[in-house]
Amino acid sequence: MGGGIVWAALRCQREVRRSCCSAREAPLWCKCLRLFTTRQVGRAKQEAGPIAAERLCPEAIAEAVRDRSRKQLDVQHLHTAPVQHVGDLYSPPHLPSSTSTAMASLALRPALRQATARSVLPAFRFQQLAQRSPIVAQTSGFQTSTRRAILPPLPQKIKGTVNDAYEAPEPHPQHGSYHWTFDRIVSIGVLPLTVAPFAAGSLSPLLDSAFISLLIIHTYTGFQNVITDYLPKWRVPRWRKAFEYANMLAVLVVGWGYYEFETNDVGLTEAVRKIWRAPSEKREA
Residue 45's pLDDT is: 53
Q: For residues 186 and 217, what is the distance between their CA atoms, to the nearest angstrom?
A: 8
Judge whether 6 and 74 are in contact, CB under 8 Å.
no
Distant-in-sequence, close-in-space partners of 218: CB < 8 Å, separation ≥ 6: 183, 186, 187, 190
Instruction: Give mean pLDDT in consecutive 10-residue pieces for the chain, a chain of 285 residues.
Output: 52 55 52 58 54 50 64 56 45 45 54 55 51 51 65 74 82 82 90 76 76 92 92 88 96 93 83 76 68
172 is in an annotated binding site: no
pTM of the model: 0.43
Judge whether 269 and 201 are in contact, CB under 8 Å.
yes
Amino acid sitting at position 256: W
Domain residue extents for the chain = 1-80, 84-139, 173-284
CATH number 1.20.1300.10 given to 173-284: yes
Question: Buried b / exposed e across 112-135, counting CB within 10 Å, b at 16+?
Answer: eeeeeeeeeeeeeeeeeebeeeee
79 is in an annotated binding site: no
Residue 14's pLDDT is: 60
